[in-house]
């Protein structure tokens, strides 16, 4: 007898049908026709197992409920055996047939497969590797497969059972809110187990690392550096010693939901304000950097940081002209600086799913892409992403003049404008390195910016070894 799918069993019957029929396809849901063969189903299972797990609904295609009763017992058995016959190692999953009414008004069924997120890399029978990315099943190349192998070892950290952990260590109000957000019925522990936030150890229910981090009261007892630190500086630089310019330093602990909410309240006060035309055609007062942008950067940081790395925490630093968010760990999985707007991979899939259930963020990919769009709408430069040996930083520039300078430079000049904003000056040699162009070409661009009154050269001549460029002090010309 098939093991029942917990996520469906926790929902009222009408909601369960809606989950697989009406909800848009996304990172955790895909639909396919009843005509699909077992090899196709296996490829889909591989993609979900290599990502964050999810549900495959068979018998729903192009908005139509086909049902599966007409396909026959042989095809149905092929689907049941797809993981054994066509995936290596076999993908862990559950199979269930759910009653429905097809588009012809007949009593029918939809076959539903729930795939578990795996700690291993899975392939199909041909040795091909797929990964669920957003609403598509993407076949990976050799280099991407190797990166997936590297990152899989860390992806299981949020699913580990908290040693000696107990459900009483979770925030009961937040747990109730979470259960309500997924519209689940039944016992709380069943809901948490279904979402990977708890596991049954014999007769004892224990939280996973993800459960403790998202719903826990004080996860810092187990993970001391699982916190967010907010720093407010006076000016545009970090000074030390007698010139130290830190005017506020807050450490926010508790679960990541508490961290996000507390940080949002503080940052609304810290980040300079601006008056902009809102979506409804009215002028509104908002933070100089759009709230969606810095909040999404923060949510991404606490969602995708490497919690297995000790000794560091998420830092959000506010300067007069920018906000910087630094997260422990390198970019996860297949995400690169060059594809960060279009590619997603969750290092902590259970944390990512839980925060999505609670309405926080849009995840790497869709959310990051909107960050770029919102900055452009506000007349600000694109977010600048930097990756160090063990951390990722996103820099959000708050100076509209920087956007005007950037618009007159070649595509991909964000590093130059970030450096100029941060250091207040740049030499021609530094500009050559930042822009990656020849010295004559860089000089031509710099001189054009000067002609438009955006920057100016300080020095006896362009050949002065002590000379440098800076933002024009008297403001741009009309």
**Beta strand 228-233 with 314-318: parallel, antiparallel or unpaired?**
parallel
Predicted pLDDT at 360: 84
Which residue's entry shows tokens 């004892």?
204
Predicted pLDDT at 477: 40
Q: Are 289 and 271 in contact (CB under 8 A)?
A: yes
**Beta strand 54-58 with 29-32: parallel, antiparallel or unpaired?**
parallel
Predicted pLDDT at 62: 84
Architecture of the structural domain at 6-140: 2-Layer Sandwich (3.30)
Q: Are 193 and 199 in contact (CB under 8 A)?
A: yes
Locate all alpha helices (DSSP H) within 128-169, ordered by sequence: 142-155
Domain at 228-399, CATH from 3.30.565.60, 3.40.50.80, 1.10.150.20, 3.40.50.1700 = 3.30.565.60
Classify 219 as helix, strand or coil: helix
Predicted pLDDT at 246: 93
User: With 0-12 CB in 10 A as exposed, 13-18 as middle and 19+ as buried, what is 284?
Assistant: exposed
Q: Are 6 and 194 in contact (CB under 8 A)?
A: yes
Predicted pLDDT at 287: 82
Cα–Cα distance between 352 and 231 in angstroms, integer?
Answer: 25
Let me know if domain 401-471 sits in CATH 1.10.10.10.
yes
Classify 191 as helix, strand or coil: helix
Q: Where are the domains of the chain?
A: 6-140, 228-399, 401-471
Predicted pLDDT at 459: 92
**What's phi and psi for 397, nearest 5 deg?**
-85, 135
Predicted pLDDT at 1: 36
Query: Does this model's pTM top 0.75?
Result: no
The two tokens of residue 218 are 């004080």
pLDDT tens-digit profile, the chain (478 residues): 355 676 666 666 566 677 778 788 888 899 999 999 999 999 999 999 988 888 999 999 888 899 999 998 999 999 999 999 999 999 999 999 988 899 999 999 999 999 988 888 999 999 999 999 878 899 998 878 877 776 676 556 888 888 777 777 889 999 999 988 887 777 888 889 888 899 888 788 899 999 999 999 999 988 999 999 999 999 888 888 888 899 999 999 999 999 999 999 999 999 987 655 556 555 566 788 999 999 999 999 999 898 887 789 999 999 988 999 999 988 877 788 888 887 777 788 889 889 988 988 665 557 888 999 999 888 888 999 998 888 999 999 887 777 788 888 988 888 888 888 778 789 999 999 999 999 999 999 999 999 988 899 999 998 898 999 998 765 444 3
Predicted pLDDT at 181: 87
Cα–Cα distance between 295 and 301 in angstroms, integer?
Answer: 10
């Amino acid at each position: 007898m098939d093991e029942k799918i917990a996520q469906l069993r926790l929902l009222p019957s009408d909601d369960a049908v809606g989950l697989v029929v009406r909800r848009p396809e996304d990172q955790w849901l895909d639909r396919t026709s009843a005509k699909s063969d077992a090899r196709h189903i296996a490829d889909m299972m591989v993609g979900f197992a290599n990502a964050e797990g999810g549900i495959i609904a068979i018998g729903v295609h192009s908005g139509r409920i086909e049902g599966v009763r007409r396909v026959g017992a042989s095809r149905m058995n092929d689907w049941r055996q797809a993981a054994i016959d066509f995936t290596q190692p076999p993908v862990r999953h559950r199979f269930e047939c759910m009653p429905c009414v097809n588009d012809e008004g007949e009593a029918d069924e939809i076959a539903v497969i729930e795939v578990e997120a795996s700690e291993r890399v899975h392939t199909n029978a041909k040795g091909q590797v797929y990964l669920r990315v957003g609403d598509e099943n993407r076949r990976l190349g050799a280099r991407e497969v190797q990166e997936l192998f590297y990152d899989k070892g860390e992806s299981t950290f949020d699913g580990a059972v908290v040693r000696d952990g107990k459900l009483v260590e979770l925030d009961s109000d937040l747990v109730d809110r979470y259960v309500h957000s997924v519209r689940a019925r039944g016992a709380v522990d069943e809901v948490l187990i279904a979402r990977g936030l708890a596991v049954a150890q014999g007769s004892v229910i224990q939280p996973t690392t993800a459960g403790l981090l998202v719903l826990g009261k004080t996860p810092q007892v187990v993970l001391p550096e699982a916190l967010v630190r907010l720093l407010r500086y006076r000016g545009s630089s970090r000074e030390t010693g007698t010139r130290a310019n830190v005017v506020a330093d807050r450490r926010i602990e508790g679960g990541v939901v508490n961290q996000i909410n507390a940080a949002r309240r503080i940052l609304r006060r810290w980040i300079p304000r601006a008056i902009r035309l809102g979506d409804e055609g009215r002028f509104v007062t908002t933070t100089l950097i759009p709230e969606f942008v810095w909040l999404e950067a923060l949510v991404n940081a606490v969602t995708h940081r490497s919690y297995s790395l000790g000794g560091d925490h998420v830092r959000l630093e506010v300067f007069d002209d920018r906000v910087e968010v630094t997260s422990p760990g390198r970019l996860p999985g297949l995400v690169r600086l060059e594809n960060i707007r279009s590619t997603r991979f969750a290092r902590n899939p259970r944390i990512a799913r839980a925060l999505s259930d609670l309405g926080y963020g849009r995840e790497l990919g869709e959310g990051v892409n909107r960050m770029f769009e919102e900055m452009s709408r506000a007349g600000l430069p694109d977010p600048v992403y930097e990756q160090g040996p063990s951390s990722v930083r996103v820099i959000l520039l708050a100076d509209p003049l920087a956007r005007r300078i950037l618009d007159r430079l070649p595509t991909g000049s964000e590093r130059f404008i970030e450096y100029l904003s941060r250091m207040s000056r740049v030499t021609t040699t530094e500009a050559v390195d930042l822009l990656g162009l020849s010295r004559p070409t860089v000089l031509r661009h710099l001189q054009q910016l000067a002609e438009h009154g955006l920057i100016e050269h300080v020095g006896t001549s362009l050949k002065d070894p002590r000379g440098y460029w800076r933002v024009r002090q008297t403001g741009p010309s009309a």
